[in-house]
Amino acid sequence: MTLTKALLVVLACSLLGASPVPEGFRSLEVPGFLPAVLFVPAGTAQRPLVIAAHGAGGSPEWDCEYWRRLTAGNRFLLCLRGKSMGAGGGFYYPNEHVLEAELVAAERALRAVEPRVTDTDGLYAGFSQGASMGSAIIGKHGASFPTLALQEGFQLWNIARARAFAKHGGRRVLLVCGTEQCHRIATETARWLERGGVEGRVEYARGAGHTPLGEVLVRTQSSLPWLMGQAP
């Protein structure tokens, strides 16, 4: 089964209320919010953290499976749930302030039970709503999350935001787009990031559309070594 097909199965199961969570995943209670999904890597060594925020209508189960495959199961994954959209299925974040509060509460809950999570080299990953709202609040969390993977986000950065991110420890931002609107915003954002002291990289999967799958997934996967400082 291809990666895209496997992820579509996880998405379908999560929307139908089935339990698609593979071995190694578990629910994490987050005070004041719905439970997050946590993936714990094997072994006893300390590992960095990926926090993932889905788009409107998404689910943390799907996000965690997506990023588990992209990181080869070598990182802790903490996938935020947001609020329920009701009987139709899926979840969303009401605004960036609620997203930030959930991120902080979830990270605190994780660190209370998992001492192997490192304090540095974290990655914030967001798609659509998770990318746009994440861009608005992640700057002050650059020490914990110096690298960002933003897919199909529509929040334009500026020099002040980039400098704030760099001041707090931010290093690199990957912007992956499947639509022309995202690409235009990402291209301008990358200029401001560079002028603000942050490395920016734009990957455009022309014609892929508003999705994290297909060529957007391929571009994200091929750019992860650069984002994590492992290759040019």
Rounded Cα–Cα distance for residues 165 and 141 (Å): 8
Average pLDDT over residues 130-158: 97
Cα atoms in the 13 Å half-sphere on the side-chain side of 1: 9
Rounded Cα–Cα distance for residues 22 and 31 (Å): 24
Q: How confident is the model at residue 12 (pLDDT cuts 50, 70, 90)?
A: very low
Q: What is the pLDDT of residue 218?
A: 97
**How do residues 87-120 score in pLDDT, each as one tens digit?**
878 999 999 999 999 999 999 999 999 999 999 8
Q: How confident is the model at residue 17 (pLDDT cuts 50, 70, 90)?
A: very low
**How do residues 25-73 score in pLDDT, each as one tens digit?**
999 999 999 999 999 999 999 999 999 999 999 999 999 999 999 999 9
Class of 27-227 in CATH: alpha beta
Closest to 158 measured CA to CA, from 198, 194, 181, 189: 189
Average pLDDT over residues 144-167: 97
Percentage of the chain exceeding pLDDT 70: 89
Contact present, 124 and 148 (Cβ < 8 Å): yes
Mean of pLDDT over the chain: 91
Q: What is the pLDDT of residue 15?
A: 39
Q: What is the pLDDT of residue 172?
A: 98
Q: How confident is the model at residue 11 (pLDDT cuts 50, 70, 90)?
A: very low
Rounded Cα–Cα distance for residues 169 and 37 (Å): 26
pTM attached to this predicted model: 0.91
Q: What is the pLDDT of residue 14?
A: 43
Closest to 166 measured CA to CA, from 146, 188, 148: 146
Q: What is the pLDDT of residue 88?
A: 75
| Domain locations along the chain | 27-227
Rounded Cα–Cα distance for residues 174 and 152 (Å): 11
Phi-psi region of 229 (alpha: psi -120 to 50; beta: other; left: phi over 0): left
